[in-house]
Amino acid sequence: MKILVALSGGVDSAVSAKILKDAGYEIEGCYMKLHGRDDYHAKNIEKVQDVGNFLEIKTHILDLCDDFKREVFEPFLQTYKVGKTPNPCALCNRTIKFGKFLDFARSKGCDKIATGHYAKIENNLIKSAVDLSKDQSYFLANIEPRVIPNIVFPLGNMLKKDVKKFAASFPELEKISKSSESNEICFVENTYIDVLREFYKTETPGIVRNLQGEIVGKHNGYMNFTVGKRRGFDVFGAHEPHYVVKIDAKKNEIVVGSKADLDKNEFETQNFNAFLNIDEILKMDEIYVKIRYRSAKIACKIEISLNDNLNNESLTDKNLNFENSDFLNNQDLKAKIILKTPANGVASGQLAVFYDKSDCVIASGFIA
Displacement of CA 103 from its chain's centroid (Å)? 20
CA angle, residues 328, 292, 123, in degrees to nearest 5: 50
Q: Is 11 annotated as a binding residue?
A: yes
The answer to whether 116 is a known ligand-binding residue is: yes
Does 30 participate in catalysis according to the annotation? no
**Residue 13 annotated as binding?**
yes
| Secondary structure class of 217 (helix, strand, coil) | strand
Around Cβ 28, how many Cβ atoms within 10 Å? Answer: 20
CB neighbour list of residue 213: distance below 8 Å, 6 or more residues apart? none
- 7 annotated among ligand-binding-site residues: yes
Residue 213 is assigned to a ligand binding site? no
Report the SS3 class of residue 153. Answer: coil
Q: What contacts 108, CB < 8 A, 6 or more positions away? A: 4, 28, 60
Please indicate whether residue 186 is annotated as part of the active site: yes
Contacts of residues 239-244 at CB distance under 8 Å and 24 or more positions apart, as own/partner, are 242/217
| Residue 152 near residue 5, CB atoms below 8 Å | no
Please, which residues bridge with residue 244 across strands?
256
Helices and strands of the chain, counted as H and E runs:
11, 18
- 9 annotated binding-site participant: yes
Which is catalytic among the residues 92, 110, 300, 360? 92
DSSP 95: I
Q: Which residues are catalytic?
A: 92, 186
Residues making up the binding site for ATP: 6-13, 32, 116
Residues making up the binding site: 6-13, 32, 116
